[in-house]
Amino acid sequence: MSVVISIITVLLVLGILSAAHELGHFFVARLMKVKAYEVSIFVGPALFKWRKKDVDYSIRCIPIGAYVRFSEVDNEGKPIESDDPTLLLNQPRWKRLIIALAGPFVNLILGILIFIVFFCATGYTSLDLDSTEPGTQLYEQHYEVGDTIVALNGKRVYTYDELYIAFNFINDVDPVELTIKSKETGEKYNITLTPEIKRQTMLGINRLKDLDAETGGWVIAANWNEESDLLKEGDILVTIDGKPMDENISEYVSSKSEDDTVVIEYIRNGQKQTGEVPLFAYDHTNYRGIILQEHSVRSVGEFFGAVGNAVKMPVSILRLTGLVISNAIGGKVEIYNVISGPVGVVNVVDTVVANENVNTGIKVSTLVMLAGMISVALTISNMLPLPGLDGAQVIILVVEMVIGRKLPKKAENAITVIGFFVLLGLVLLAFASDIAKIVFEGW
């Protein structure tokens, strides 16, 4: 049932964002006195139809896309040429360029507005440094709380998301250089975070942050101990060698040898059980210690901070797209994790919708965030120079404006044919990526 809800959700989001895109073309064209014949919200059989000021409007039943028709068509669906000066094809190239850019621009603005709403509702994380903990890499460096990270290893970062994902492509044992802007003076300075590598004995589990209220034990989130699969997700670890799960237990495990075993007491399905688990050791680095300031929008200043963060999000999304693609080419990321088609989008939404441990408010806010990202993604994808997309028309118009004449028909046809096969390849790759994700990672 959740898959059906997810499919409907994705269709509605894509339909609404596509409709906004087409309405951008339409309203800018009308402002420029360009004639439009038809505006359709969604596709398929019409649910509602009306005519106003010589334009046919309709709302159709399938929420997949929308379209605006700027010319009359013959029985074969081909545009009918005319000398009518109000037609789009008879407009100066600069007007046609603005109208072509209007759709992607609306998706860009809509994405930013969605991010503003999201950040105002949930708060946002800035790149301003907060105080860190002793023993971390940052703790030994000279910085002031409130100073702002502006670059990582010499590369500019604009948002928390960009910084977080960039760190995922850096090995924990590698030093990193942060470029920081002083809050007090506005000057930039560099600090280097150098990891301290230590051998640490571990039980090999991840746990939920909060203790189990009834038993005071650790709730197991994952078991990555390669020597033992005794503990399962959802188990509650109550004691290790008879010792309770308090602040001293990690230090106790670390003091053991990597060849030792410990006796654990745990609860599974309400039943208390015991068992032995072998320990193991791995090279552990101290934490980077980068703690960033979180903001709730409760003042005018924080509101403008949310707006500034939202405006930077499209830049970060574009830059992160390039980062992920470059890492995929370098073999650091599986190719099926780079491109996602409609099945992949539904899979992401279904992961959110089907999670019973997440409350409704978080689900809604996550879907809002996804809508903002999809809107920005539509801006980027529509600017690709491929047939049927605004980017192809923009490229042709710009080239014609530079050379001062219309492109030869052969050149235009060649661009269309090449672009078609590239577009077809991207579509096939997207579906192949979706299938690969399901095969290797599951639905």
User: What is the 8-class DSSP label of residue 129?
Assistant: E
What pLDDT does residue 146 have?
93
Rg (CA), the chain: 28
Query: Taking 50 as the threshold, does the pLDDT of residue 384 lie above it?
Result: yes
Least confident window among 58-62, 180-184, 364-368, 380-384: 364-368
The pLDDT tens digits for 303-342 are 999 999 999 999 988 887 777 666 556 555 554 454 554 5
Confidence of residue 255 (pLDDT cuts 50, 70, 90): confident
The pLDDT tens digits for 275-311 are 999 998 877 788 899 999 999 988 998 999 999 999 9
pTM: 0.74
DSSP sequence for 103-168: HHHHHHHHHHHHHHHHHHHH-EEEEEE----TTSTTTTS---TT-EEEEETTEE--SHHHHHHHHH
* Higher pLDDT pick, 101 / 74: 101
Q: Which domains does the chain have, with CATH numbers?
A: 93-123+298-325+333-443 (no CATH), 125-196+286-295 (2.30.42.10), 199-281 (2.30.42.10)
For the segment 423-441, the average pLDDT, to the nearest whole number, is 54
For the segment 137-141, the average pLDDT, to the nearest whole number, is 90
What pLDDT does residue 246 have?
85
Distance, CA of 188 to CA of 395 (rounded, Å)? 39
Confidence of residue 438 (pLDDT cuts 50, 70, 90): very low
Q: What average pLDDT does the structure give for the chain?
A: 83
Instruction: Provide the token pair at 299.
Output: 């003042």
Q: 3-state DSSP call for residue 332?
A: coil
Q: Can you count the helices (H) and strands (E) in the chain?
A: 9, 16
